[in-house]
Amino acid sequence: MKAINTSKFALAALAAALLACSGASAKVMEDTVATVNGEPVLRSEYTRFVGELTERYRATMPNFFEQKDADKQLSKQVLDEMISTLLVEQAARSAKVIVRDREVQDRLEKVRKTFAADENGRPLAEAQANANFEKELKKEALTLDELRARLTRQMTAEKYVQQTLQPKLVQPADSEIKKFYDKLMFVVKGATAPLAGMSEADAQEMQMMARQVRDMSAERVRVRHIFIKADEKAPLAEKNKALETAKDIKTHLDKGADFADLAKKHSQDAESAARGGDIGAVIKGMGLPAEFEKQAFALPVGQVGEPFATPLGYHILRVDEHRVAQSPQFDELREQLGQYLMNRQFKSELKKLVESLRAKASVVINEDKSKN
């Protein structure tokens, strides 16, 4: 079974986060919203981060903005995180943590690689990938040296946190992991009682993990299709022509033609056609057109179905694999859940570290300028 992804920071988002973040070396005369031990938190950065977080919340949690103080909460969250980040960076510098040039170069190459594919994950030519990377640098008014310096700062802070917190972390016992597994399984089945007493963030993470487990364990089929376009609002003659094309393809399949070859030649779903019609795993209840799901889960493995219509056109399906619903066992999830509990422990220790740094720091917030 695939691992549950509990990380909050995917590598694909790394480049955007780094390029969006301006360093403390920005213009001295620029307006500030706060100072941390005399080091400025720039208003331009603050405003940008508030905008980015607002967009992310509108996309993922639109109901959040029904609260009267939603904007105030977002602004406070951004400022708190910027102050915390700066405190950790300062502590890392004081501890004389060293990050080698080779480590920075490796991280830079990872950032570059996030520009090496299009939005659908398809690889881009090297020239186009480099152009995308340079375009993002220009957009953020950064030079390559400035980005490298920023990566050095970030990695120095990361290494400091790792060195400081690692000795405090304790591998969870099997009994603790099993207790968490049992709680998670209740949430997978729709129970809300296990979420009682959790912080809002922990409850959201638990619900996200439960959705992942449901998806992992749901009934699914691996499907290939050949698609002939025919919008439901198209003229009858156009739809009849598309149907005849689909029937002709089915005749060739019945005579032994290779499904993948015909999909590459005739299917008008370009993305799956390039893979011989393979659209991957289809999970029951994932929101596909009702007729598509009905056909996909009714066909025996290896059999080609008759052409059928959806609002987009006509499809011919072949099911390559059919897996029944299964309840994930503890042994299958033990490693991933143990890692999640370690991550949660790490976040708790990091919060304590930041709080201790802030308690000893001189933090001055410009109340007027921090209002967004």
Same domain, 155 and 228: no
Q: Is residue 77 part of a domain?
A: yes
Q: Is residue 299 part of a domain?
A: yes
Q: Is residue 158 part of a domain?
A: yes
Domains in the chain, number: 2
Same domain, 279 and 130: no
CA distances from 298 to 105, 264, 284, 301, 332 (A): 52, 24, 12, 9, 29
Q: Is residue 315 part of a domain?
A: yes
Same domain, 164 and 237: no
Q: Tell me which residue range forms the domain holding 120.
A: 11-169+359-365
Same domain, 237 and 317: yes
Same domain, 26 and 136: yes
How much helix, strand and coil, in percent to the nearest 5, is found in the chain?
A: 60, 10, 30
**Is the predicted pLDDT of residue 299 greater than 90, yes or no?**
yes
Q: Is residue 335 part of a domain?
A: no
Q: Is residue 209 part of a domain?
A: no
* Residue 21 banded pLDDT, cuts 50, 70, 90: very low
pTM over 0.85: no
**Per-residue pLDDT at 25:** 42
Q: Is residue 342 part of a domain?
A: no
Alpha carbon 332 to its chain centroid, in Å, reads: 23
Residues 259 and 65: their CA atoms lie apart, in Å, by 49
**Is the predicted pLDDT of residue 265 greater than 70, yes or no?**
yes
Residues 26 and 141: their CA atoms lie apart, in Å, by 11
Q: Is residue 274 part of a domain?
A: yes
**CATH assignment of the domain containing 317:** 3.10.50.40
